Amino acid sequence: MTDATVLVLGFEPFDKAPLNPAWEVTRRLDGKAIGAARIVGVQLPCVFGKALEALDAALQQHQPSLVIALGLAGGRTALSIERVAINVDDARIADNAGQQPIDVAVAADGPAAYFARLPIKQAVAAMRAAGVPAEVSNTAGTFVCNHVFYGLMHRLNTVPAWAQTRGGFVHVPYLPEMAAALPGAPSMAVETQCKGIEALIAAVLRHDPEQQDLQLSAGQLH
């Protein structure tokens, strides 16, 4: 019997791509159980504003204790757990509705940034122990991925109903079938990506939020 819900969010395809690995992972994890927790997968539109409306609807419907949002970061070689979300939308390309905000706050009343509410170092260690390439990332970009990451953390930090809910964001690489059209681009099989996200979820569920995260070097020089 399950007694907790883990909400996994994955974006629809964008920028004319035929698929998005974030959604391919999400839909495969939907309905799975990890220990006493049940995973619910929900698709997000790759649209500023509407993605947060979908997030709010999912939070209200599923009442999760943990939220993991996934997005594509083509060119990365590992599953990247994002450390920080910043309060800015600055789109290099248009979203799926043709919007391209530049230097707009995600939340006008919000702070400059939020840290993920996850034991990111412990999760990376667990993913690597499962045989999945994983890393800590210090930039979630400024497109709809960061928009959702910041919006999620703003809600978890300001809405009393979500005060005990943990959450964060993971960027995923291309799938091999996508990289086939992009010679030299790194990729990761969807099965491996699913294995890594399951290991992350299990690590978070095991971790006591009152305890310190694992002390693992994950800094960057630039």
Catalytically active residues are: 82, 145, 171
Q: Which helix (H) or strand (E) is 171 found in, with range? A: strand 166-172
CA distance 26 to 89: 24
Phi, psi at residue 49, to the nearest 5°?
Answer: 85, -60
The token pair at 110 is 């919000």
Q: Which amino acid is it at 63?
A: Q
Q: 194, 143 in Cβ contact below 8 A?
A: no
Q: 93, 181 in Cβ contact below 8 A?
A: no
